[in-house]
């Protein structure tokens, strides 16, 4: 089995040092996990063969929780405890949530990052995201029947330092070693080989559920972020930002 190799530029790990690494797309509406198997990058399915995991967590009385499809189904009559689109709240305060009054959640305003009051008490966006990431981690560990070395996680190009740090904190809480955060448009460009022997200028668009981003790839091995916009995706609840 060929496994994904992650190493610093100019360094190649020895064969006996190779470990299992995964890639995670922590999306606003859906998430997934992938790795290289038999030389091919593949999205890893759950026990029911489902690749896509809805980015939804429902907190239940007594300490239980539902994640993914179960949360979507079970949360229809329990919206205040069913947290969706939590990625929008990462590293954000309540004033950054433009439509907060129209959302079913009970927000707790904090100077740094807001909280969400649930039947299990207050949950931070980091904790909710960690539940999603842990689900993907367990899926990967079950697939390989082995512990993971680490994960590369995609983030929107517009994410600022606070949002990126919140993503790292969530991964750590989920028991993941973050090898690298990579901008979503960059990940798309690399997936199509635009960082390796590709000539010309390419525009790579990231049409996400929570925001849109794009990247120019001029010439060979140069990927430049050009724009990102929050609040123009299919799932809108926060103020638009542009970088």
In the three-class reduction of DSSP (H, G, I as helix; E, B as strand; rest coil), residue 157 is classed as coil
Cα separation, 164 vs 168, whole angstroms: 6
Please tell me which residue in 25, 127, 131, 169 is annotated as part of the active site: 25
Please tell me which residue in 46, 87, 127, 131 is annotated as part of the active site: 87
The number of helices, as runs of H, and strands, as runs of E, in the chain is 4, 15
Q: What tokens appear for 78 in the block?
A: 């329990």
Q: What tokens appear for 69 in the block?
A: 């499809």
Active site includes 69?
Answer: no
Cα separation, 195 vs 94, whole angstroms: 39
Question: Contact 195/187 with Cβ under 8 angstroms?
Answer: no
Active site includes 199?
Answer: no
Active site includes 184?
Answer: yes
Please tell me which residue in 46, 127, 131, 184 is annotated as part of the active site: 184
Question: Contact 116/85 with Cβ under 8 angstroms?
Answer: no
- Name the packing angle between helices 161-173 and 125-144 (round to 10°): 50
Active site includes 95?
Answer: no
Question: Contact 239/156 with Cβ under 8 angstroms?
Answer: no
In the three-class reduction of DSSP (H, G, I as helix; E, B as strand; rest coil), residue 148 is classed as coil
Q: What tokens appear for 144 in the block?
A: 């390989």
Please tell me which residue in 46, 131, 169, 206 is annotated as part of the active site: 206
Write out the catalytic residue numbers.
25, 87, 184, 206
């Amino acid at each position: 089995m060929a496994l994904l190799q992650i190493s610093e530029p100019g360094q190649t790990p020895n064969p006996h040092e190779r470990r299992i690494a995964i890639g995670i797309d922590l999306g606003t509406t859906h998430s997934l996990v992938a790795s290289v198997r038999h030389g091919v990058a593949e999205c890893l399915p759950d026990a029911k063969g489902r690749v896509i995991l809805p980015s939804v967590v429902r907190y239940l009385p007594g300490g239980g929780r539902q994640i993914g499809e179960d949360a979507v189904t079970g949360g229809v009559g329990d919206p205040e405890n069913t947290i969706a689109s939590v990625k929008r709240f990462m590293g954000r305060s309540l004033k950054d949530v433009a439509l907060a009054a129209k959302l079913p959640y009970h927000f707790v305003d904090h100077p740094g990052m807001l909280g969400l009051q649930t039947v299990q008490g207050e949950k931070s966006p980091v904790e909710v995201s960690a539940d999603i990431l842990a689900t993907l981690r367990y899926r990967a560990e079950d697939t390989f029947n082995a512990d993971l070395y680490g994960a590369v996680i995609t983030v929107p190009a517009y994410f600022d330092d606070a949002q990126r740090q919140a993503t790292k904190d969530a991964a750590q809480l989920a028991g993941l070693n973050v090898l690298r955060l990579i901008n979503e448009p960059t990940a798309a460009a690399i997936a199509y080989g635009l960082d390796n022997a590709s000539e010309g200028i390419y525009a790579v668009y990231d049409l996400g559920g929570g925001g849109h981003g794009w990247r120019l790839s001029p010439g060979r091995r140069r990927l430049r972020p050009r724009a990102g916009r929050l609040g123009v995706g299919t799932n809108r609840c926060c103020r638009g930002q542009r970088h």
